[in-house]
C-alpha cells in the first residue's frame, strides 16, 4: 500500500510539473493569433483610411480642374495645370460614346466637323474606396445659363468607384440686341467646350495640364419669328425656343481645350 501511494504521488507531481509548460504554450499561441489578427485588422483599417483620404483629395482636385478648364476655355492660348496622386487610384482621358448635336428642323448646326471626337476626364478610385453616387458640380441638364457650370462632375459606382467630368452641354445667352444701320438683329450666343486629347504618360504623382487651342465660331441668320433648337446628347434630348421681332442671329462658338497627363 505504501508503494502504491508513493507511485501515485510521483505521477501527480509529474503531471503538476508539465501543466505550466502546456499553459504557457497555449497562452503564447493564443496571444500570437490575437497579435496577427490585430495587425491584419490595423493594416486593413489604415489602408482604408489612406485610399479614402486619397479619393477625397482627388475630389478637391477634380473640382479645381473643372473650374480651371472653364477659365482656360475663355481665353485663347491660356493654360493651367494641377497635380493628382495615383497611389491607389488613377486619372485618365476617355473618348466619349456620346456627342453634342444641335439642330434646327432638319439642319444640323453643330458639330462643325462630324468626324471630331468628344472626351471626358475620369478618376478611378482605389479598390477599397467606399462612396455613394453624388453630383459634385453642375447638373446633367444639356442647357445651362450664364451662371451654370458647363462641366458636370459626379461620382459613379459600378465596376468600381469613379469620378466623371464631362462638358457635353452648352450655354445659351439670348436677347442681345444689335443694330446695323436700320436693321435690328437679335443675337443668341451658344458656347460649347470640347475637350481634346493631348499627351498621356507618367505614373505616381502626375500633372494634368489644360490648354486653350482656339475658338471656332459660326453664325446662322433667320428671319423674324421663332426657331426651336433641338439639342441631343446620346439618348437625351432638350429643346430651346428662340424668338425675335427682328432678324435672329444664332452664333455658336466652340472652345477646344486640350487635356494632357504627364
Which pLDDT tens digit goes with each residue over 18-56? Answer: 567 677 777 777 777 776 776 666 666 555 676 788 899
Q: Is residue 77 situated within a structural domain? A: yes
Residues 6+ apart with CB under 8 A from 247: 183, 184, 185, 186, 221, 222, 223, 224
The pLDDT of residue 36 is: 72
**Residue 114, domain extent:** 47-261
Does residue 177 carry a pLDDT above 60?
A: yes
pTM greater than 0.85 (yes/no): no
Mean of all residue pLDDT scores within the chain: 87
Whether residue 111 is preceded by a cis peptide bond, meaning omega within 30 degrees of 0, is: yes
The pLDDT of residue 43 is: 61
Q: Is residue 113 situated within a structural domain? A: yes
Tell me how many domains the chain contains. 1
Q: Is residue 18 situated within a structural domain? A: no
Q: Is residue 198 situated within a structural domain? A: yes
Which pLDDT band holds residue 251 (cuts at 50, 70, 90)? Answer: very high
Q: Is residue 10 situated within a structural domain? A: no
Q: When comparing pLDDT for 145 and 95, which is higher?
A: 95
Strand partners, 155: 134, 163
Cα–Cα distances in angstroms (integers) from residue 17 to residues 14, 24, 77, 229, in the given order:
5, 12, 87, 95
Judging by DSSP bridges, how do beta strands 90-95 and 107-110 pair with one another? unpaired
What mean pLDDT comes out for the span 141-161?
93
The pLDDT of residue 1 is: 45
CA 211 – CA 129 distance, rounded (Å) = 31
CA 132 – CA 32 distance, rounded (Å) = 38
Q: Is residue 34 situated within a structural domain? A: no
Q: Is residue 118 situated within a structural domain? A: yes
Q: Is residue 27 situated within a structural domain? A: no
Amino acid at each position: 500500500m505504501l508503494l502504491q501511494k508513493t507511485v501515485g504521488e510521483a505521477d501527480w507531481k509529474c503531471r503538476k510539473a508539465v501543466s505550466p509548460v502546456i499553459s504557457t504554450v497555449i497562452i503564447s499561441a493564443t496571444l500570437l493569433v490575437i497579435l496577427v489578427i490585430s495587425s491584419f485588422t490595423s493594416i486593413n483599417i489604415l489602408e482604408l483610411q489612406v485610399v479614402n483620404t486619397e479619393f477625397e483629395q482627388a475630389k478637391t482636385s477634380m473640382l479645381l480642374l473643372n473650374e480651371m478648364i472653364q477659365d482656360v476655355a475663355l481665353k485663347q492660348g491660356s493654360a493651367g495645370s494641377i497635380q493628382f496622386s495615383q497611389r491607389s487610384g488613377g486619372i485618365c482621358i476617355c473618348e466619349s460614346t456620346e456627342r453634342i448635336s444641335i439642330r434646327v428642323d432638319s439642319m444640323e448646326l453643330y458639330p462643325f466637323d462630324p468626324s471630331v471626337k468628344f472626351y471626358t476626364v475620369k478618376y478611378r478610385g482605389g479598390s477599397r474606396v467606399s462612396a455613394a453616387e453624388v453630383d459634385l458640380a453642375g447638373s446633367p441638364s444639356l442647357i445651362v445659363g450664364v451662371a451654370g457650370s458647363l462641366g458636370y462632375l459626379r461620382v459613379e459606382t459600378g465596376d468600381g468607384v469613379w469620378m466623371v467630368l464631362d462638358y457635353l452641354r452648352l450655354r445659351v445667352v439670348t436677347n442681345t440686341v444689335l443694330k446695323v444701320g436700320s436693321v435690328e438683329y437679335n443675337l443668341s450666343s451658344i458656347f460649347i467646350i470640347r475637350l481634346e486629347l493631348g499627351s498621356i504618360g507618367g505614373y505616381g504623382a502626375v500633372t494634368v495640364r489644360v490648354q486653350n487651342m482656339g475658338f471656332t465660331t459660326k453664325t446662322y441668320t433667320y428671319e423674324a419669328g421663332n426657331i426651336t433648337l433641338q439639342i441631343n446628347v446620346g439618348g437625351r434630348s432638350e429643346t430651346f425656343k428662340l424668338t425675335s421681332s427682328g432678324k435672329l442671329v444664332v452664333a455658336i462658338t466652340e472652345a477646344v481645350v486640350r487635356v494632357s497627363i504627364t
